[in-house]
Amino acid sequence: MDFSFALTPPLKVKVIKEIKITGTKNFKERAVRELIKTRPKDLYSETNLREDVQSILASGNYEDAQVETSDLDGKIRVIFKIKEKPLIKRIDFTGNKKIGKGKLKEEISLKIKEGYDSIKISNDVKKILSLYGEKGYPDAKVEPFTTFNESLNHVSVHFVIKEGNRILIEKIEFQGAASFSQKKLRRLIKTKRRKVYDSEKLKKDLEEIEKFYKNNGYAKVKTNKPQVAYNPERTKITLDIPIEEGMRYLVGNFEFTGNTVYTSKQLEKAIELKTGKLYHQEKFEETLQNLRELYLEKGYLYSQIIPQEVIEDNKINYQMQIEEASIIYIDRIFIEGIKKTKDKVIRREVLLKPGDPFSSSKLRRSQEKIFNLGFIDDVKPDIQPARDPDKADLIMEIVEGKPGSLSAGAGFSSTDGLVGQVQLSHSNLLGLAQRLNLMWEFGSRKQNYEINWTEPWIFNKPVSFGVDLYNTIRERLFNSDSSADYTETRRGAGVRVGPRFSDVYTLLFSYSFTSVGINRIKEEFKSQIKEETNTTSSFLTELSRDTRDYFFDATRGSRNSIAGQIAGSPVFQGDVHFLKSLFNTSWFWTTFKLGNYPFVFSVNGRFGAVQEFQPSDTVPIFERFFVGGSDSIRGYQARGEIGPIEGGRVYTLMNAEYKIPLYVENKRRILQLVLFADMGGAWKSSQEMYLDVGASPVESENGRFLKSSIGFGLRITTPVFPIRLDWGYGLNHRAGEEVSQIHFTLGNLF
Q: Write out pLDDT tens, residues 532-588.
A: 899 999 999 999 999 999 998 999 999 999 999 999 999 999 999 999 999 999 999
Residues whose CB falls within 8 Å of the CB of residue 603, separated by 6 or more in sequence, listed in order: 586, 587, 654, 655, 656, 657
Domains and their CATH numbers in the chain: 5-84 (3.10.20.310), 87-162 (3.10.20.310), 168-244 (3.10.20.310), 250-297+315-323 (3.10.20.310), 329-400 (3.10.20.310), 404-746 (2.40.160.50)
> Is there a contact between 176 and 245 (Cβ–Cβ < 8 Å)?
yes
Q: What is the DSSP letter of 313?
A: T
Instruction: Write down the mean pLDDT value for the chain.
Output: 91
Lowest mean pLDDT among 82-91, 340-349, 401-410: 401-410
pLDDT tops 90 at residue 666 = no
How much is the pLDDT for 12?
54
Cis omega (within 30 of 0) for bond into 615: yes
What would the mean pLDDT of 647-669 be, rounded to a whole number?
93
Signed CA dihedral, 242, 246, 251, 257: sign only:
negative
The span from the CA of 536 to the CA of 510, in Å, is 13
Share of the chain above pLDDT 70, in %: 96
Find out whether 352 and 362 touch, Cβ atoms under 8 Å: yes
Query: Residue range 485-491: average pLDDT?
Result: 92
Question: Which residues have CB under 8 Å from 28's CB, separation 6+?
Answer: none
2 has a pLDDT exceeding 70: no
pLDDT-derived band at 10 (thresholds 50, 70, 90) equals: very low
Per DSSP bridges, beta strands 304-312 and 315-323 are antiparallel
Residue closest to 177 by CA, chosen among 141, 139, 128, 213: 213
Residues 430-478: pLDDT tens digits?
A: 999 999 999 998 888 889 999 999 999 999 999 999 999 999 999 888 7
Residue 605 has pLDDT above 60, yes or no: yes
Give me the pLDDT at residue 199, please: 85
* Nearest by Cα to 273 from 209, 206, 219, 210: 219
Instruction: Answer with the residue of higher pLDDT: 688 or 564.
Output: 564
- Is residue 417 over pLDDT 80? no
pLDDT score recorded for residue 413: 63
Of residues 369 and 44, the one with the higher pLDDT is 369
Backbone φ and ψ of 35, nearest 5° = -85, -20
Average pLDDT over every residue of 716-722: 80
Under the banding of pLDDT at 50, 70 and 90, the label for residue 700 is low
**pLDDT for residue 529:** 83
> For the residues 289-306, what does the mean pLDDT come to?
96
The model's confidence at residue 699, banded by pLDDT at 50, 70 and 90, is low
Mean pLDDT to the nearest integer, 139-166: 94
What is d(CA 697, CA 689) in angstroms, rounded to the nearest whole number? 18
DSSP letter, residue 445: S
Closest CA to 406 of 370, 440, 442, 452: 440
Q: Most confidently modeled of 87-91, 401-405, 410-414? A: 87-91
The pLDDT of residue 350 is above 70: yes
pLDDT at 73 over 90: no
